[in-house]
Every structure is written in C-alpha cells, then in structure tokens.
Structure 1
Amino acid sequence: MSKSAVPYLYGAEETIPIEQLHPFANHPFHVRHDLEMKELMDSIEESGIIHPILVRPKEGGEYEVISGHRRWEACKELGIKQVPAKVLYLDDDEATVLMVNSNIQREHVLPSEKAFAYKMRMDALSHQGKTTSCQVGEKLLSVQNISQETNESQRQVHRYIRLTNLIPPILQMVDENRIAFNPAVEISYMTEEHQQWLQEEMELCDATPSLVQSRALKEMSRNGTLTEDYLHTLLTEEKPNQRQKFFLNQSDVQQYFPPGYTPQQMHNTIMMLLRGWKHKRTSRQRPQREDELER
C-alpha cells in the first residue's frame, strides 16, 4: 500500500506553536466569522481541539495547514498559543487532494469555493496520473473521480470548474445569488474584456441576462460581434413573464446578523424565518375555522 493512499497512517501528532502555521497556498475555502465560527470557538474554549489539524512541514521549521483552517483561526481568536497537529509528509498534489477532500463536505460551500476546489483537485489528480501522454484523457479521468466522490454528475463538475473563468466581480455575484448558476456558466465563455463590459452594464441597469440571453452573449463574444451598446439594449429590454422585483436593501438588514455573514447566508436565514412565521400563522388560523364550523 502506497504512502499517498493512506497519508493519515504516516502522520506523527505534535503540539505546534500557532505562529509557525501558514495557510495552504491558494486555499479556495473562506474562513467566515459567522454563527458557526462562534459555536466552534465556544466548543474549543470548553473542550479544546478534539481532532488535531493536519499540516505538512515547510522550510525553516514552519508548517502549512492542509485541513483545519477554521479550527486554527478560532484558536487565534481565542488567544491559544499552541495547537495539536498531525504532521504529514505529502507532495503538492497529495496535499491538494487531501485539502479539498477535507473541506468540500462543509455544510455551507459557496459556488466559487466549490469551483476552485474542483479545479485544484482535477489538476492535482491529473499530475498524479501522468503515466500517459494524453493530458486530456487524464483530466477526464480526474473529473470522473471527483464526480464519484461528490455524487455530482461529471457535467456538473465541469460546469463548476467553468466558473473559475469568470472575472472576480461576476463570480462574487454568483456567490451572492445575484446571478443564477446556469447563465453564469455561459458567461464564463466570454472574453475577459466582454465580461468586464457585462459586469459594468449589469451594475448600471440593475439587471442580469437570462439563460437564453447568456448563450447569445457567449456566441457573440466568440465571433467578435458583441458591442457595449448591444449589452445595454439587451439588459434594459423587458423579459417575458418578468415579475416586478421585491428586494431588501442589504444595509437595512445587515445590523441583525453576526459580522461576516454573506448575503446568501442572510437570504437563507430570512427565508427560514419566513417559513416558520407562515407555519405559525397557518397553525393559528386552522382552529379558528374549525370553531366557526361548529357554531
């Protein structure tokens, strides 16, 4: 059995000063200071770190965190000086695969996090599998591997990886649920310059393209016929069956949430509270109707 197949078996547990730890290079998962982080800090303060973080050694006696960035950040916030860690001797590709596998099962993963995690894992698996000269074939096998481990179709894995071609402002709009996933995938095929035009027009018009419009934009970007004037016309035209928008200003509701809550987390929490309110309202109304029938 190879060392890379079961890296946990070869790790020695140590107690490492927190200042000797460094984040994983290009780590795609964000550490958010939200309610979950508060609960994690409370747990560590009460019981300590139950599961050691995973690290690998760097030059000069330093260590790179592979798994456990949230626990590490919580310890820094709590003023803890040392943390238990399992030291693994892995190359870059092995460490990348383990880092993604350890984080992708989080309860809340943003589209951008999943996109870059899948891409990093695909590239790492492709490097590990370079026993043939067919690089495209290796990438296909890597996507199959990711699909099997995440229970997502190969097509969906490809579509997430496509999001890494979006410019940062548009990718942030995907994370904030301001633009739908499917149109964003089509937009990812546009050139960087055309994406910048689109992003400026979306902000100006307070509108986003539909899936059909996004596909048209992709083709126009590919054949060089897209213009800024056309973008403006497209985004200001009324879409079929378009409903009047209802929205809450983020600045109005931000005060009611913990610092670091993303717009998507605020949206999810508001929807959960509304569902609970509807259920309570329905429960109160039902006995009244029954009473009226008995009279």
Structure 2
Amino acid sequence: MVAKKNALGRGLGALIEESPKAEEPVQNDAITEIPLTQVKVNPFQPRTEFSEEALEELSASIKELGIIQPITVRQVGEKEYQIISGERRTRAAHMAGLETIPAYVRTADDQAMLELALVENIQREDLDAIEIAISYKRLIDECKLTQQNLSSRVGKQRSTITNYLRLLNLPAEVQKGIRHKVIAMGHARALINIENDDDRLFLFEMIVKEGLSVRKVEELAKSINEGVDIKEQNKNTQKTTKKPGLGEGYKELQSQLDNFFNTKTKLKRNDNGKGQIVIPFKSDDELERIIGLLDHVKND
C-alpha cells in the first residue's frame, strides 16, 4: 500500500498524515468500496470546470480497466462521504455506470479539507500557470501558510512559488493570455519585470501580433526599464518601414497588361510569390470587350 500512498503526491501525502485523528479507529491504509450514491462533492474544491471530452475519455477507460487510482474521502455521516481528492474520477465513474468506487477513507476537519483539495489540485498535470498561482495564494491566505510552509507542503522551491504568485499582479488581459496559452511562461516572466501596466499591455499586444520570441521580449522589457519609450519607437519603425513593391520585371508586365486590355490593371504580389491580377471595367460593353480579348488569346 506504500506505492499507492506515494501516488497521491508528496504534498498531499504529507497533509493526509498530518490530519487530525478520528475519535474512532479508521483503517487509513485500507481501500474500501463505497456506493457512489453515498459520495458527495467537496465544497472546498477549487476546481470548478471539467472538460466534458476528457471526462468521456476517462469514463471509457474506467469501463475497460476500472478505477486505477482510488479516490480519497472523509466520512461525514453514517452513510455519507465527502471527496477530498478524485472528483474527476468520481464524475467519470458515474458516467461509466459504476455503482461503487474504491476509496481511501481519511479524517479531516474543514481546514485540512481545504488544504488537501488545494494541494491535490496543484499536483494535476493539466493546470495552467494562473490556476497554480491562484491555488498557491488560497493556501497562503485561507490556510494561513507562509511561503516556506507552502514550499514544504507542495515540494516546490520557495522561489518557484514566488514567481507563480507574481503572475497574479499582471493585468487581467495578460493573465487570460497565459491561461489560454497565447503567451508562454517565459513571456510572462519578462512582463512581470515591467512596473507599468500600460507598458505590459502594449508589449503583450506586440507578442500576440508579431509572435515575438521570449528573448526579444526580455530585451524590450529591459529597454522599457531603462527608460526607452518602445511605443514611440515602434510607431517610428512602422512609419519608416516601406512596404515591399513590385520589382522592375513586374512593373514592365503590368505596363504590358495595361496596353493589352486598354485599361489600368492592378498587379499585386507578396513576398511569397502569391498575388492577383485585377482587370477593372466600367460597363457591360467594356466587359464584353475584355472577354473578347481573352477569347482571342485562348483561340490563338
């Protein structure tokens, strides 16, 4: 059973061992099959959204293989258990049509329940950086933990926790960009080092529009902190940057088209060689004339 306890994660395992002891003996190392009808959700669960597609995939796996990792619950009544960790597995088990679910039964007060739920949430692999930061902040604010205590709980260096918490100081638009993976963690760390939110937002928009690398963002962030006005600098760059025009060969071709169709044609081409030829006309008679010229070329 030692291997199963380790699977819960270092921080979660530590919290479970520190939970208050029950007045009556509880077989903490035993796995019990509990009717799903007796399992209730954790009111302290920090996770509120579950991917329907991911739940369906897990449900299909459970139908085929069963529950690989038992959930963890606490008994709150004669026939009622509250989830400490494993709500996603419980939901998928319902979808799979199971009647019971394997569970570790633990004892924990409300404070311990919140800690357990938050730590279990942090240890999920699919969390984005902002979700992790929010969970860290809740552990500090609501569970009265210091960053050093939290470091021990979750098995992370204190500097790592500090960097995550700093993400919550970024503007909402940037935090949303992090959650939706519009920008990488490296971009976010560079933006954190900028004091002014307006500059942060401007650089964030540049990252999105121009696909700036982390290195480039770090350079721009450093320039901003040194007093460089990158907004004005970017504006001047746009003014002085000339749009690529047609080469001499294409200009000659456009002249030949103008003469052939006896109208002012438009020839457009980008750097990749893609483009279009536009032959304007002012009336149906002129359109018929142009079509006649094209038919003549085709017949030749």
State the TM-score, normalized to the length of structure 2: 0.50
Q: Are 2:46 and 1:27 equivalent residues in the alignment?
A: yes
What residue number does 2:91 align with?
73
Contact 2:72 2:106 in 1 (8 A): yes
Indicate the RMSD between aligned Cα atoms, in angstroms: 4.7
Counterparts of residues 262-273 of structure 1 (less than 5 Å): none
What secondary structure sits across from 1:210 in the alignment? Answer: helix
Contact 2:36 2:94 in 1 (8 A): no
Aligned partners of 1:40, 1:166: CA distance in 2, in Å? 35
- Go from structure 1 to structure 2 and tell me whether the alpha carbon gap of 1:80 and 1:22 turns closer, same or farther (over 3 Å shift): same
Which ranges of structure 1 fall in alignment gaps of 5 or more residues? Answer: 128-138, 221-225, 239-295
Counterparts of residues 239-250 of structure 1 (less than 5 Å): none
CA shift at 1:207, angstroms? Answer: 5.5
What residue number does 2:162 align with?
158
Aligned partners of 2:83, 2:152: CA distance in 1, in Å? 24
Aligned partners of 2:40, 2:208: CA distance in 1, in Å? 43
The amino acid across from 1:211 in the alignment is E
What secondary structure sits across from 1:126 in the alignment? Answer: coil
What residue number does 1:141 align with?
148
What residue number does 1:177 align with?
181
Aligned partners of 2:74, 2:196: CA distance in 1, in Å? 36
CA shift at 1:68, angstroms? Answer: 0.5
Contact 2:45 2:114 in 1 (8 A): no
Aligned partners of 2:209, 2:38: CA distance in 1, in Å? 47
Aligned partners of 1:205, 1:41: CA distance in 2, in Å? 40
Which ranges of structure 2 fall in alignment gaps of 5 or more residues? Answer: 1-14, 239-300
Compare the two structures and name the one with the higher helix fraction.
1
Q: Give deviations 1:120-154, integer Å, cap 9, x for gaps.
A: 33446635xxxxxxxxxxx242244257x14xx32
The alignment covers a number of residue pairs equal to 214
The amino acid across from 1:165 in the alignment is N
Name whichever of 93-102 and 157-166 sits farther off.
93-102
Aligned partners of 2:115, 2:99: CA distance in 1, in Å? 28
Aligned partners of 1:190, 1:165: CA distance in 2, in Å? 11
What secondary structure sits across from 1:177 in the alignment? Answer: coil
What residue number does 2:135 align with?
117
What residue number does 1:211 align with?
218
Q: Are 2:109 and 1:91 equivalent residues in the alignment?
A: yes
- Go from structure 1 to structure 2 and tell me whether the alpha carbon gap of 1:94 and 1:170 turns closer, same or farther (over 3 Å shift): same
